[in-house]
Amino acid sequence: MEAFLVSLSTIAVAEVGDRTQLLSLVLAARYRKPLPIIAGILCATLANHAAAGFVGLWVGSRLKPELLQIVVGVSMIAMALWTLKPDELEEGAAAPSAAGAFLATLTGFFIAEIGDKTQVATMALAAAYANLSIVVLGTTLGMLAANAPVVFLGKAFADRLPLKVIHYAASVLFLIIGAVFLFRALRR
């Protein structure tokens, strides 16, 4: 249960203000079809986070438990610092697609998540918890929890969020999780 709750909360908080959340906003404004956009987010996130999780499991299986705890702890602290740098959406990220809202979301999200902090966090969480399905379920639901309201409520919702405060809160969450992993490593 810990793996699921940490995965869900870490990604849900970290995703607020992230470039994929900005992409959700752009796609929602452009296509005005929330269900295909949500389906595209779900499929892209499952694929991307499953791949990241496999990498995390592989790395986790190669490291001694104490070293793994240190690597995950340091990764989470690095994520805390990374979270303080707000993302911006690049021009042309939501170019028109003949395949429609679903395909535009699927490809846009999958590409935007490559190397993103949520993908890196998923790798670290999969390495730490070694339960791929629970971690990917948690990170995917965290991604949906952060992006679905943006898709359904659009710009009016996004304009009212205190993004700076949320970035600080996400940073503190990553910092706490990193400290817990480092504490576990030092305790051994």
**Residue 60 pLDDT exceeds 70:** yes
**Residue 98 pLDDT exceeds 50:** no
**Residue 91 pLDDT exceeds 70:** no
Q: Which of 53-62, 93-102, 173-182 has the lowest mean pLDDT?
A: 93-102
Q: In the numeric block, which tokens belong to residue 134?
A: 């629970």
Q: Closest by alpha carbon to 154, among 12, 22, 16, 11?
A: 22
DSSP-assigned states of every residue in 112-143: HHTT-HHHHHHHHHHHHH--HHHHHHHHHHHH
**Percentage of the chain with pLDDT > 70?**
85
User: What pLDDT is attached to residue 80?
Assistant: 74
- What dihedral angle (degrees, nearest 10) is formed by the CA atoms of 178, 75, 144, 32? 130
Under a CB-based contact definition with an 8 Å cutoff, are residues 136 and 50 in contact? yes
User: What pLDDT is attached to residue 96?
Assistant: 44
Split at pLDDT 50, 70, 90, the class of 87 is low
CA distance 48 to 39: 14
pTM of the model: 0.73
pLDDT in tens, 102-123: 998 998 888 888 878 888 889 9
Q: Closest by alpha carbon to 31, among 147, 150, 129, 151?
A: 151
**Residue 32 pLDDT exceeds 60:** yes
Residue 150 CB-density burial (10 A; 0-12 exposed, 13-18 middle, 19+ buried): buried
b/e per residue 107-139 (b: at least 16 CB within 10 A): ebbbebbeebbbbbbbbbbbbbbbbbebbbbbb
